[in-house]
A and B are shown apart, each in its own frame.
Chain A
Amino acid sequence: MSKRTMTLNLSPEEMDVLEALSLKKDLSKTLLLRQALRLYQRVEERLERGETLFFEDEAKKQKAEIMML
């Protein structure tokens, strides 16, 4: 698969989050950002179809809608 390269500028806080998530998920920063892009595209597609994104806590019987920009 051909790949294209880009430079990404992140604030120290953003880099901290990226590094923490990379560590937690045991993924490289590149692989983690690719996964985030896939997920973002999927969420966007579902929202465009009129669907809603929720987080649900079955134990507490709580359901919270995620507001997306």
Chain B
Amino acid sequence: MTPPGPKSISQVALMDAVSGAGVPAEFWQPITDKNLADWEAHWRPAIQEQLVLLSDAGVERHLWPQSREWNWRKKHNALGSSLSNESAAVMAAGVTQGMMIVDLDFRARIEEQARQHMVYIDFLEVAPWNRRTLTGGAPRYVGIGTLMIGKAIQRSLELGFKGRIGLHSLPQSNDYYANQCGMRDLGSDANYNKLRYFEMTPDMAERFLMRGERSGR
């Protein structure tokens, strides 16, 4: 029997990092077995190869990709039939290029929007071949993380949450969320492995989406 496909597919675009050309892609909701199979068959071996290169190059372990131990099948299975969690994947060239899980039951922390509903990004990861690595690896496609952040904002708008989103960032992504996404850094969270917590207000979300429109994202 064919496993169920996504309930929703929307057409999106990524950018080829070398040529700068647009690459047709799809945004799938929710994550499907095909995405999890890609994680097992393509992501995990690629991550393992990167770890070998990092190890051989003598790069300290705290600088290795911090999502290397994430198990997407376990994360996906833990969602069950919860209405509070939603998942999505980005597909291009027939392979999963990124995955995300969000939680719709979180409340905002920034004072001006404290306790208002928001979309919390539980997990967001791009495929290992789409990352810049410390051993000189260059991404194949760019724009996947930004695309998924934009989709989280759109979901927040659909739910009446005005574009509010929040997340805890792995240390290697702090700069991306603060400076490229324009999220507010609320500092280290003692209740969440001391990861820094970032949040976006409706104004920040609007600016993020406008930047995307201007850049054709």
User: Shortest Cβ distance from A36 into chain B, in angstroms?
Assistant: 11
Chain B residue nearest to A43 in the complex (CB): B105
Restricting to A6-31, which residues have a CB under 8 Å from any CB of B? 25-28, 31
Tell whether A41 is near chain B: CB-to-CB under 8 Å: yes
Chain B residues, CB < 8 A from A39: 84, 105
Interface size class of A (residues with CB under 8 A): 10 to 19
User: Shortest Cβ distance from B189 into chain A, in angstroms?
Assistant: 16
Tell whether A56 is near chain B: CB-to-CB under 8 Å: no
Chain A residues, CB < 8 A from B116: 25-26
Tell whether B11 is near chain A: CB-to-CB under 8 Å: no
Q: Are A41 and B117 in contact (CB under 8 A)?
A: no
Tell whether B104 is near chain A: CB-to-CB under 8 Å: yes
Q: Are A41 and B7 in contact (CB under 8 A)?
A: no
State whether A42 and B117 are in contact (beta carbons under 8 Å apart), knowing that A1-B7, A31-B160 are contacts in the complex.
no
Tell whether B162 is near chain A: CB-to-CB under 8 Å: yes
Task: Give the interface of A toward B (CB within 8 A).
Answer: 1, 25-28, 31-32, 34-35, 37-39, 41-42, 45
- 8 smallest A-B Cβ distances: which pairs? A31-B160, A38-B83, A27-B160, A38-B84, A42-B84, A41-B83, A42-B105, A38-B104
